[in-house]
Chains A and B, each alone.
Chain A
């Protein structure tokens, strides 16, 4: 199954290749990977979505922990975490379809960020199933381009 790993790493050049190289070398598949700075400027956070059974995920976590540049690895899979993805989607529109498309965007709480004569660009945030559902719903009108950030996730605070 898909696991979401939050990996705190040093914010140095070469760190990404160390992490990515480890996945290639050991034959694990990265589903998505995002990297950005954290509240601590010396650290970056990678959110890595990886597919595998429990034993593989355990190996991935242990292998990642062994890298000197990795400070911590936590598994944010399941209900204890909130995850989001951002997508930018360019959709074909015509006079006939425009209102239907905009209605769909509205239902999914998307935002139109750019509008041309024959297409509109929509920004959408949500968990992965929501974005998948929107893509599915919009497909009949003509999906021109799709950019997804990959998942970011954070632990829920303890009640």
Chain B
């Protein structure tokens, strides 16, 4: 009898285990099978943030994770609650973001019977999770939760799903098993391959046209300071992917900006012409290589440093492969450098400067253009403001012109490219870092995919600044139909757009409308002066295009620049 009394409820075991992992906030949405958990939550110190749609809560958990480096946690009910999380899980999977996704499930006895709000969410998400668990015995919760967090954050991070049947959560008087992990099959490649470090130092020393290509792995590893040191010591120019934005600030003299489809001319020329490409924490994504690995950096020896052995030689043939943590490997290379001469890159930099001078895209600062808005926003908000974006033209303008100085201050959906990400991600970011400024850069298409989350902003009084570049069309699709489909515009006009200022005001959020260049600065200043959330609706022309652009099927040097 005494042993029975010592037991606790399944849901409480879960919440205690989450607390042990340092969870301070769960982004969630309740439902029938989660009633035992939501009841237990009332007695837990863990904060719960109620979204307006499950897709919003998983994006919020993702934004929370990107700006902190911690594991984000979200919770949705069985059936539709779980399926609504799917897009967000895929997004985290493609961008290697650590999430623990909790889903409700029908009671163990009903599983497989097509009962109300039942779906096989483990089956549905198998290709887009790093791992998943169906909990059948509440006594196993401490171990499963511990393993889930460990798997999510170690190695190449990613989402881990835990499916929680109602009876498992509701069971009373449970005496849990130990939380000792049983992960014999899970391997983490964190150790650098020592033999190859000197080899990299040597090829670098002999190189005359080196380029360092930095991606999300640099951010995950927290390697930006080592990267900066590396750039300072070697004078190697650095290009970044979209995931690597901020790992070397744009204003750093070695930065050539972003590489790839909407990269800078200089970055793309440099990668094409270099004799040594040091790829760190990247996966040669087709938005960088134009999907043609065999025509990418063909004159270069390629060094690939990544924590995931699967990525090595997946797309591009590489000469030196190092499987390991980007920070550790870069630090070891730095240590080995003094044994070798610095590469002579004088001619290379003359060439790079020449490309840069000839190819920097000019825009009219007196006209209301997206680059002008981005630069003005950068000046007012500052490089240390957290930026989240949606997906489309505005995302690329933000990537090209916003002066982010810290990669943990940037959250954008890169691999999946999911519209509707930005607003909930801003919510997650603001909740994670309440003292920091958070700005969402969005477009009228993307914004309407998550517009309901304005309710979450209002409920939690989150002072997020929403910068809406409003052109009344799906701009990126329009741009591609203009350039590649003979201006045959199909289904791009968003007629019926609401008055976004009024929508914001309906939620009790300050709205400011901007229609001309001279209003931009004042509106942005006012937005950042206001203590609460603000939406700035900026009307831009639908004729603005994101340039440069590498057309599909072309080499990265064959850019459209005007």
Contact = CB atoms under 8 A, between A and B. Distances in A.
Interface of A: 9-10, 14, 17-18, 21, 25, 55, 58-59, 62-63, 65-71
Contact of A71 (B151, B185, B314): B185
A69 B185 CA distance: 6
B400 to A, nearest CB: 33
Nearest to A65: B187
B185 A62 contact: no
A68 B126 contact: no
A25 B185 contact: no
A65 B189 CA distance: 11
A68 B310 contact: no
Nearest to B187: A65
A68 B151 contact: yes
B310 A67 contact: no
B310 A66 contact: yes
A67 B314 CA distance: 17
Say what secondary structure dominates the interface of chain A: helix
A66 B127 contact: no
Contacts of A69: 185
A62 B323 CA distance: 12
Interface of B: 122-123, 126-127, 130-131, 134, 151, 183-187, 308-310, 313-314
A39 B123 CA distance: 29
Contact of B310 (A21, A25, A59): A59
A67 B185 contact: yes
A17 B126 contact: yes
A130 B314 CA distance: 37
A68 B131 contact: yes
Contact of A58 (B122, B131, B308, B313): B313
A149 to B, nearest CB: 25
Contacts of B126: 17-18, 21
A9 B185 CA distance: 8
Contacts of A65: 187, 309
Contacts of A62: 309-310
B187 A17 contact: no
Contacts of B130: 68
A69 B184 CA distance: 8
17 contacts: A9-B185, A14-B122, A17-B126, A21-B127, A25-B127, A55-B313, A58-B313, A59-B310, A59-B314, A62-B309, A63-B310, A66-B308, A66-B310, A68-B130, A68-B131, A68-B151, A68-B186
A70 B123 contact: no
Contacts of B127: 21, 25
B297 to A, nearest CB: 19
Nearest to B126: A21
A144 B184 CA distance: 46
A67 B185 CA distance: 8
Nearest to B122: A14
B309 A68 contact: no
A68 B183 contact: yes
Nearest to B151: A68
Nearest to A21: B126
Nearest to A42: B184
Contacts of B187: 65-66
A155 B375 CA distance: 64
Contacts of A25: 127
Contacts of B183: 68
A149 B477 CA distance: 52
A65 B310 CA distance: 9
Contacts of B122: 14
